[in-house]
A and B are shown apart, each in its own frame.
Chain A
Amino acid sequence: GAVVSQHPSRVICKSGTSVKIECRSLDFQATTMFWYRQFPKQSLMLMATSNEGSKATYEQGVEKDKFLINHASLTLSTLTVTSAHPEDSSFYICSAGGLRVYGYTFGSGTRLTVV
């Protein structure tokens, strides 16, 4: 089946630094990938949609200059959290969209802790 690989699974960084999260589609080409954020005891919230070769579109309230998304190839999308602050600590999850047989396939998530 369709597999989306997400790395790292967890990361701890200092305030003010940047962190990059990678999301790869292993056995298919993903023209569209989605990035979600999940705070403790809450549901997933869509942050942005990235399309290969074009600029990402961000949901209302998500700072595009803080959460940089790059989707340079059909198998790789990256999310960079710039100048991270403790309030950015969350569970970040990517997803490849529109796979009719398997539904939308999700990565395993990245637990970001900013100290």
Chain B
Amino acid sequence: DAKTTQPPSMDCAEGRAANLPCNHSTISGNEYVYWYRQIHSQGPQYIIHGLKNNETNEMASLIITEDRKSSTLILPHATLRDTAVYYCIVVGSGGGADGLTFGKGTHLIIQP
């Protein structure tokens, strides 16, 4: 699976949009971009995933560049409960046969 690069930490004011970038320049055509977050001492929580089109769900939006070499996770109205480590992971389409490779992620801190 392709490697990802994320900033180690980011701050965002409560109520503002949090934009978390991720670089995955070696992604291949059949690999998906998944985003998870981990709140302290809990298991990772699925947020969203996409292949090449932008995606939106009740939690977030995922913007993938046309060349698919980078993406941005957008939390439209951040709250204090969004403080967590956010992981961007590239996953093959192999149907779940492989576990996920977690990088260091971005520690997002929402400031009151």
CB within 8 Å of B: which residues of A? 4, 6, 32, 34, 36, 43-46, 49, 91, 93, 95, 97-100, 102-109, 111
Interface size class, chain B: 20 to 34
Chain B residues whose C-beta falls within 8 Å of the C-beta of A100 in the assembled complex: 96
Known: A43-B104, A95-B99, A97-B96. A103 touches B43 (CB 8 A): no
User: B100 to A104, Cβ gap below 8 A?
Assistant: yes
Contact B105 A43 (CB under 8 A): yes
Asked whether B46 lies within 8 Å of A109 as measured between CB atoms, the reply is: no
The answer, yes or no, to whether B101 is at the interface (CB within 8 Å) is yes
For A91, list chain B residues within 8 Å (CB). 41
Contacts of B102 in A (CB 8 A): 36, 43-45
The docked-state distance in angstroms from the alpha carbon of A102 to that of B87 is 16
Could you say which residues of chain B place their CB within 8 Å of the CB of A44? 38, 44, 100, 102
